[in-house]
């Protein structure tokens, strides 16, 4: 599972996200926890666009 986020969440929030995401995957997919992989990518806000508009500019407004 790949989760892409804007930079700015804490390590504690990442840990909680990994734990909850893994738990839900096990329940929904009926698989063992050791089969679940979670990768979090922190992406700089400058690299995000929505409909060609800079997210950085949207966040400033």
- The pLDDT score that the predictor gives to residue 45 is 85
For residue 54, the surrounding DSSP H or E stretch is strand 53-54
- The pLDDT score that the predictor gives to residue 19 is 96
Structural domain boundaries, residue 45: 2-60
CA terminus-to-terminus distance, the chain: 32
CATH code at 9? 3.30.429.10
CA distance 61 to 56: 9
Q: What percent of the chain has pLDDT over 70?
A: 100
pLDDT digits (tens, 9 = 90+) for 17-44: 999 999 999 999 999 999 999 999 988 8
pTM score over 0.75 = no
Question: Per the structure, how many domains does the chain have?
Answer: 1
Strand partners, 2: 39
- The pLDDT score that the predictor gives to residue 8 is 82
């Amino acid at each position: 599972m790949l989760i892409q986020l804007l930079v700015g969440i804490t390590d504690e929030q990442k840990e909680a996200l990994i734990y909850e995401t893994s738990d839900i995957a096990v329940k929904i997919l009926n698989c063992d926890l050791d089969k679940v992989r979670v990768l979090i990518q922190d992406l700089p806000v400058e690299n995000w666009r929505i409909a060609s508009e800079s997210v950085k500019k949207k966040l400033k407004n």
